[in-house]
Amino acid sequence: MTSYTPLYSRETNVYNLEGFSPPVVDYEYLKSMGVSVAPDPETLAGLERGSRILKERLEDRTLIPRPRFSTIEGDPGAVMDEIHNYTGRCPTLTYEINPVGGCGVGCQYCLVTDGAHERELTVDLNYPLYVRKLLEEKNGPLSENKNHYYYFSPKTEAFQEASLLTGVAHMILREFIAHFKRCPESKARLFIASKAGAEHLMFKHQGESILDLFAQLKERMQFNTSVSIMPSAFRDIIEPFAAPLEERMRAVRLCQERGIPANSALVQPIFTPCLTPEGIKSFFDTLRSSGIINYKPEFLTVCMENLAILGPYLGAFDKEMERQLYEDYLMPSNADHRKQRGRTAPDRKVSIGNIRKMMAYTDSIGMSVSICYWVRKQLGISEEMIPLINRNGFQCLGYQSRLFEK
């Protein structure tokens, strides 16, 4: 087991937030806050379970990951190829790259674990060999050589300390570089979505930084920063080992300076109470000033247990925002507004209203929007409102489709 010091961390965290005491989020608690909706019994039971989970994780100190990892040497031939396609209608064929079991960033809203971080991190030292095998099979000389994206990484942070310290992140990028030398006509393309800050991208292995390797792939890769809309102090608590927003923007600019496509962002999760006119302007002005011209908005999606953890922490900074969060998620008519793994999205009317508000402002500053098929279907968004491939060439998750023209 290897222990490490995170490149980014904070003095204040979920364990020592001044004045925080975990409440029981039940009907009486919601009523005392002025929440006007009346959740059904199943929803309330989930919230109460979440309150118990929060209390237990605080006592056991398992709310955020321990900064340590172990290594394994897996069989490259035994790794199952995973296609990143949640809806069955995603327009781009995309293979997943997930070399780390678990994630050291510790997001309390994690889409993969619902904020559970008890799992010890493991890094597969042989994963780059699997990537070599996958590239050869799907895009090598004997393959059909179709357009493929490789998503690094949808289930864990690509450039967390565990993958950097072992060199696995660097070695995966080197496999792509070697592949293109062997197969210059390959239509493989690398899509990276990451909360990495500048320090992550400048981390070196065998004398080369992640940025150095990006520069050798710049014609065939895309770097998408992943950023959230929420109060800064709250972000620091629930993304304990992620880079601050300004460091993620610095990473974007470093990529752009090297000629690496880095002008689209995954905006996730969006906490709906933050979408005031002032909040929208401030957030998107920050992105636009760093050269972002496209974004993929993703509202917070949660199981009720997770909502009972996130809500009180948000309330530690702003009780009105906590109240509004419950209003947007708990109405009975919203019970079937589910995304992957059964996670609940905000009220449909609230969601489409907020999408329109964001679009109205971002259109005025020259930014385009990527909206996935599931969201369009759930919210009744027409093809005319948000076309599948928008004017800046981005598709679905924010894939830059024009990379295949090179």
**How confident is the model over 17-30, as pLDDT tens digits?**
999 999 999 999 99
Global pTM? 0.93
Q: Which residues of the chain have pLDDT under 50?
A: none
The pLDDT value given to residue 162:
97
pLDDT the model gives residue 104: 94
Q: Is the peptide bond before 153 cis (omega within 30 degrees of 0)?
A: yes
Give the model's pLDDT for residue 302. 92
DSSP bridge partners of 399: 395
Q: How far is CA 192 from CA 150, 157, 309, 397, in A?
A: 8, 10, 29, 11
Q: What are the strands of the beta sheet with 121-124, ordered from one edge? A: 2-3, 68-72, 121-124, 100-101
Q: What is the pLDDT of residue 161?
A: 97
| DSSP per-residue letters across 289-321 | HTT--EEEEEE--B-HHHHHHHHHHHHTT-HHH
pLDDT digits (tens, 9 = 90+) for 178-216: 999 999 999 999 999 999 999 999 999 999 999 999 999
3-state percent helix, strand, coil for the chain, nearest multiple of 5: 40, 15, 40
Task: Give the pLDDT confidence score for residue 362 in this predicted structure.
Answer: 95
Task: Set out the domains of the chain in order of their start, with CATH numbers.
Answer: 2-405 (3.80.30.30)
Q: What's the pLDDT score for residue 338? A: 62
Rg (CA), the chain: 21
Please name the residue ranges forming H helices in 102-260. Answer: 127-139, 161-165, 168-182, 198-201, 210-217, 232-238, 245-257
Query: According to DSSP H, which parts of 61-160 are helical?
Result: 127-139
Q: Token pair for residue 119?
A: 């799992």
**Distance between CA 346 and CA 325 in Å, rounded?**
9
Q: How far is Cα 264 from Cα 191, in angstroms, rounded to an integer?
A: 11
